[in-house]
Chain A
Amino acid sequence: EDQVTQSPEALRLQEGESSSLNCSYTVSGLRGLFWYRQDPGKGPEFLFTLYSAGEEKEKERLKATLTKKESFLHITAPKPEDSATYLCAVQAGTGRRALTFGSGTRLQVQP
Chain B
Amino acid sequence: ETGVTQTPRHLVMGMTNKKSLKCEQHLGHNAMYWYKQSAKKPLELMFVYSLEERVENNSVPSRFSPECPNSSHLFLHLHTLQPEDSALYLCASSQNSGSYEQYFGPGTRLTVT
Chain A interfacial positions (CB closer than 8 Å to B) = 4, 31-32, 34, 36, 41-46, 49, 87, 89, 91, 96-104
* 8 A Cβ contacts from B56-99 to A: 56, 58, 88, 90, 92, 94, 99
Count CB-based A-B contacts (< 8 Å): 60
Q: Is the CB of B42 within 8 A of A103?
A: yes
Q: Is the CB of A97 within 8 A of B107?
A: no
Chain B interfacial positions (CB closer than 8 Å to A) = 4, 6, 31, 33, 40-43, 45, 48, 50, 55-56, 58, 88, 90, 92, 94, 99-107, 109
**Which DSSP category, helix, strand, loop or mixed, fits chain A's interface?**
strand
With contacts A43-B90, A43-B106, A97-B48 known, is A49 near B31, CB below 8 A? no
**Which DSSP category, helix, strand, loop or mixed, fits chain B's interface?**
strand
With contacts A97-B50, A103-B40, A103-B42 known, is A46 near B102, CB below 8 A? yes
With contacts A98-B45, A98-B48 known, is A42 near B103, CB below 8 A? no
